[in-house]
């Protein structure tokens, strides 16, 4: 593991926004987690864990915490399932699957971030969600400092929700996926879809969850919010549910813009939009 004091968090997330962490710990081997928790305990600081930083907004102000960046990388076949450490990124999984003729996860190729982040948020791509392919999850329970295995239960997952969101003290260390020997989709087509339909730039993808059966992007568009900006951030002209940072934006700008967008949609359609992006506050720091 690697410990960096006063590390800039804005370099480690796709929004490129955020202040410094008192300590950043690069978590490189799963077994290091107990030592990392111990380090935080000795420092008397709370914890926050993240992966690719593609679905969160760090605050502008410093985080007086031990911020753990999950960078573990093991990937292998385990009793017919595909096992990935929580820090594995999708391109690594994609090349492993390609080299080993494994299929079933093509829909997720091109998703930014890590396996841990995708499991925690039950990420969804092209009509498939992580829960549809998940069989087990390994996690480290901070409360009793034990490694455990969670066996998948459909009832614990929902749209952009998982049991790991309700139990933030369970740090995901790895996940097991059902694979098939037949392709279920063409990764090239999905990559083209993203390039054509999604705005490029400093963003976290869709900011709001879709309020079923409506689409947040359509509601924002119909409320006349495309292109609306606050400070250095705006709602994309291409897809109104994408908040784009022009490089000068702050967390304060994002919150001001998205609160305004929420309020406008509420007044116009009577629908309460809910953030898909984790807005990190002091309340999210795990006390140990």
Ligand X SMILES: Cc1cc2nc3c(=O)[nH]c(=O)nc-3n(C[C@H](O)[C@H](O)[C@H](O)COP(=O)(O)OP(=O)(O)OC[C@H]3O[C@@H](n4cnc5c(N)ncnc54)[C@H](O)[C@@H]3O)c2cc1C
Residues marked as catalytic: 160, 206, 276
Scanning residues 8 to 27, which ones bind ligand X (CB under 6 A)?
A: 14
Residues 213 and 216: their CA atoms lie apart, in Å, by 10
36 touching ligand X, by CB under 6 A: no
Stretch that binds ligand X, among 18-26, 29-37, 77-85, 203-211 (CB under 6 A): 203-211
Applying CB under 6 A, the site for ligand X has a residue count of 31
Scanning residues 51 to 80, which ones bind ligand X (CB under 6 A)?
A: 51-56, 70
- Closer CB to ligand X, 169 or 269, in the complex: 169
Contacts 24+ apart (CB under 8 A), 236-240: 236/199, 236/201, 236/203, 237/199, 238/197, 238/198, 238/199, 239/197, 239/198, 239/199
Rounded to a whole number of angstroms, the minimum distance from the CB of residue 181 to ligand X is 25
Using CB under 6 A, which of 18, 59, 104, 113 touches ligand X?
Answer: 113
Stretch that binds ligand X, among 50-58, 95-103, 245-253, 258-266 (CB under 6 A): 50-58
CA angle 248, 254, 255 (to 5 degrees): 145
What is the DSSP annotation of 82-149?
EEEETT-BHHHHHHHHHHHT-BS-GGGTT--SBHHHHHHTT-EETTEEGGGTEEEEEEEETTTTEEEE
The contact set with ligand X (CB under 6 A) reads: 14, 49-56, 70, 86, 111-114, 116-118, 120-121, 123-125, 164, 171-172, 198, 203-205, 278
């Amino acid at each position: 593991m690697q410990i960096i004091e006063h590390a800039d968090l804005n370099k480690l997330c796709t929004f490129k926004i955020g202040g410094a962490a008192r300590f950043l710990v690069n978590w490189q081997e799963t077994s290091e987690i107990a030592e990392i928790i111990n380090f935080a305990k000795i420092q008397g600081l709370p914890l926050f864990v993240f992966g690719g930083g593609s679905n969160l907004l760090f605050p502008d102000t410093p985080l007086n915490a031990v911020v753990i960046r999950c960078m573990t990388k093991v990937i292998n076949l385990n009793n017919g399932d595909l096992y990935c450490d929580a820090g594995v990124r999708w391109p690594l999984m994609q090349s492993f699957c390609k080299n080993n003729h494994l299929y079933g996860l093509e829909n997720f190729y091109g998703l930014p971030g890590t396996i841990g982040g995708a499991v925690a948020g039950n990420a969804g791509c092209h009509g498939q969600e992580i829960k549809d392919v998940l069989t087990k999850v390994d996690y480290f329970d901070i409360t009793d400092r034990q490694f455990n295995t969670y066996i998948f239960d459909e009832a614990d997952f929902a749209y952009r929700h998982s049991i790991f969101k309700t139990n933030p003290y369970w740090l995901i260390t790895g996940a097991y996926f059902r694979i098939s020997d037949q392709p279920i989709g063409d990764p090239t087509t999905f990559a083209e879809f993203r390039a054509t339909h999604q705005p490029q730039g400093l963003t976290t993808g869709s900011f709001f969850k879709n309020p079923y059966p409506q689409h947040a992007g359509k509601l924002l568009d119909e409320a006349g919010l495309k292109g609306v900006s606050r400070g250095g951030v705006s709602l994309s002209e291409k897809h109104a549910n994408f908040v784009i940072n022009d490089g000068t934006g702050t967390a304060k700008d994002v919150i001001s813009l998205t609160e305004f967008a929420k309020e406008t949609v509420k007044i116009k359609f009577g629908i309460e939009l809910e953030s898909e992006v984790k807005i990190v506050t002091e309340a999210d720091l795990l006390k140990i």
